[in-house]
Amino acid sequence: MTLHADAAHPDLVTVEVPTHWYNLAAELDQPIPPHLHPATKEPVGPDDLAALFPSGLIAQEVSTEAYIAIPDPVREIYSMWRPSPLIRARRFEKALNTGAHIYVKYEGVSPVGSHKTNSAVAQAYYNSVDGVRKLTTETGAGQWGSALAFAGAQFGLEIEVWQVRASYESKPYRGHLIRTYGGVVHSSPSELTESGRAILAKDPNTTGSLGMAVSEAVEVAAGDPDTRYALGSVLNHVVLHQSVIGQEAVAQLAAVEPNGADLVFGCAGGGSNLAGLAFPFLREKIHGRSDPKVIAAEPAACPSITQGEYRYDHGDVAGLTPLLKMHTLGMDFVPDPIHAGGLRYHGMAPALSHTVELGLVQGVAISQHDAFSAGVQFARTQGIVPAPESTHAIAAAAAHVADDPSEQVVVIGLSGHGQLDLPAYAEYLDGKF
Ligand SMILES: *Cc1c(COP(=O)(O)O)cnc(C)c1O
């Protein structure tokens, strides 16, 4: 990567779009435990995954290469908004009365307003290479569904999305965005699938969950030879795609902070944006170039790292997905319908869970009130309205450095903007939580 500090904006350093994705697991002594077949409990092989995923992504799911080349068509689309900015949040620092140097890596500049496009574009590309006609998926707040709809439009794929009912009803805008990009969106659980009908028969008033929506999307993909499924987080290949965030951030930071980062914060729902940001910083640690601590901020309402068990569990409610070794609250866990819909997932990426077990990442649970309080303070100082998910990372970092004069270098993953989540801000400002 070549580097140059932008003379007009000393806080903004531009780097090139990475040429490779970075796979931390390839550099760890202990491998990530393999996914298991739901029936045989044996490690899943490429054939088991072929009904759901295209060959390029299956290869990445089990890759032991540290660097994997980003195909040109993907890198070209990335360059529509990447590299994303690393911004020194000086006004936020001042408000916190801290000596820390706080940098935010801002993924809200992507077309849909979050990091999700980094994987959506890659997934749509590999599916199009295999001649797939349609992709199904789940979405919570709608960030992933809209990212995949955007990516589908780039590569000529049909996109069908099951959106968690709580979000479908309370946040219609991303559903409109999905349709604007040419996708189709359903409220989940729906009457369109066997798993959806079974859930509705048991609990017609359910608020829905990501685990339920995954079951519906997987069921439809498994039943149609031209259709594949796309997951917006959790799996190794998704974590891999998100590594563009951290690779850029490491390079951007190096131009202004020669000793690198002391602390890296990100919000963790399925774990992909945090892993994407943090793993290249952990690469720096493993190679002895710096010694950052990584902190995963999760919602108190869905605390899989801090309260869950580390064991094999399904990724969905119906038990259709492979068993994943992860921190989990259990496949049946239905979190309260908090505003950070992207953090309402019962499990954590096996790759991130593994680094937690190795002591490289620590979890902290943040209440919704504290998260939005920090989000509002960030908006009032820096202008950017953070996504409800991202406010958890901001709150965790703020709690860590406020009123502390030490000059620590802090990087916060600002995974998206909250411009379509303003009803949630309004509820907070009206004192409803
Ligand atoms: C989806 C989403 C998240 C949570 O997903 P991870 O896989 O944990 O990154 C966080 N922030 C935003 C803005 C999201 O859209």
pLDDT digits (tens, 9 = 90+) for 338-390: 888 888 889 999 999 999 999 999 999 999 999 999 999 999 999 999 999 99
Q: Which two tokens stand for residue 122?
A: 């890659």
Ligand 1 centroid to 269 CA: how many Å? 6
Q: Closest Cα to residue 24, out of 230, 232, 246, 231?
A: 246
Residue 30 lies in a domain: no
- The counts of H helices and E strands in the chain are 18, 16
Ligand 1 centroid to 405 CA: how many Å? 31
φ and ψ at 172, to 5 degrees?
-70, -15
343 in contact with ligand 1, CB cutoff 6 A: yes
The H-assigned helical ranges of 242-291 are 243-254, 272-286
Q: Give mean pLDDT, residues 52-64.
A: 95
420 in contact with ligand 1, CB cutoff 6 A: no
Which atom of ligand 1 is the closest one to the Cα of 272?
A: 7
pLDDT exceeds 50 at position 8: no
Last residue of a domain, one of 229, 251, 266: 229
pLDDT exceeds 70 at position 5: no
pLDDT exceeds 70 at position 11: no
Number of domains present in the structure of the chain: 2
117 in contact with ligand 1, CB cutoff 6 A: no
pLDDT digits (tens, 9 = 90+) for 262-319: 999 999 999 999 999 999 999 999 999 999 999 999 999 999 999 999 999 998 888 8
pLDDT band at 13; cut points 50, 70, 90: low
pLDDT band at 336; cut points 50, 70, 90: confident
Q: CA triplet 57, 63, 66: central angle to 5 degrees?
A: 120
375 in contact with ligand 1, CB cutoff 6 A: no
Residue 72 lies in a domain: no
pLDDT digits (tens, 9 = 90+) for 386-426: 999 999 999 999 999 999 999 999 999 999 999 999 999 99
263 and 363 co-located in one domain: yes
Q: Give mean pLDDT, residues 81-110.
A: 98
Q: Whose CA is nearest to atom 14 of ligand 1?
A: 342
Asked if residues 281 and 246 have their Cβ atoms less than 8 Å apart, the reply is: yes
- Whole-number mean pLDDT of the chain? 94
Ligand 1 centroid to 318 CA: how many Å? 23
pLDDT digits (tens, 9 = 90+) for 110-122: 999 999 999 999 9
Does this model's pTM top 0.85? My answer is yes
* CATH number of domain containing 149: 3.40.50.1100
Q: Give mean pLDDT, residues 189-194.
A: 98
With residue 396 as reference, give the H or E element that holds it.
Answer: helix 388-401
Residue 71 lies in a domain: no
Residue 47 lies in a domain: no
Residue 61 lies in a domain: no
195 and 262 co-located in one domain: no
| DSSP, res 37 | -
Q: Closest Cα to residue 96, out of 336, 364, 371, 394?
A: 394
240 and 198 co-located in one domain: no
pLDDT band at 171; cut points 50, 70, 90: confident
174 and 257 co-located in one domain: no
Residue 105 lies in a domain: yes
Which atom of ligand 1 is the closest one to the Cα of 116?
A: 15
283 and 405 co-located in one domain: yes
Percent of the chain with pLDDT over 70: 97
pLDDT exceeds 50 at position 1: no
142 in contact with ligand 1, CB cutoff 6 A: no
Q: Taking the C-alpha atoms of 90, 91, 96 and 102 in order, what is their torsion angle to the nearest 10 degrees?
A: -30
142 and 197 co-located in one domain: yes
Q: Which two tokens stand for residue 423?
A: 């009803």
137 in contact with ligand 1, CB cutoff 6 A: no
194 and 292 co-located in one domain: no
Q: Give mean pLDDT, residues 121-145.
A: 96
327 and 426 co-located in one domain: yes
Last residue of a domain, one of 177, 198, 229: 229
Residue 149 lies in a domain: yes
DSSP 196-255: HHHHHHH-TT----HHHHHHHHHHHHHT-TTEEE--SSSSHHHHHHTHHHHHHHHHHHHT
201 and 212 co-located in one domain: yes
304 in contact with ligand 1, CB cutoff 6 A: no
417 and 273 co-located in one domain: yes
Ligand 1 centroid to 386 CA: how many Å? 12
Q: Whose CA is nearest to atom 15 of ligand 1?
A: 143
409 in contact with ligand 1, CB cutoff 6 A: no
Ligand 1 centroid to 128 CA: how many Å? 25
pLDDT digits (tens, 9 = 90+) for 297-313: 999 999 999 999 999 99
Residue 38 lies in a domain: no
pLDDT exceeds 70 at position 7: no
Ligand 1 centroid to 234 CA: how many Å? 10
111 in contact with ligand 1, CB cutoff 6 A: no
201 and 241 co-located in one domain: no
300 and 410 co-located in one domain: yes
143 in contact with ligand 1, CB cutoff 6 A: yes
**Residue ranges making up the domain that contains 185:** 116-229
Last residue of a domain, one of 213, 229, 245: 229
296 in contact with ligand 1, CB cutoff 6 A: no
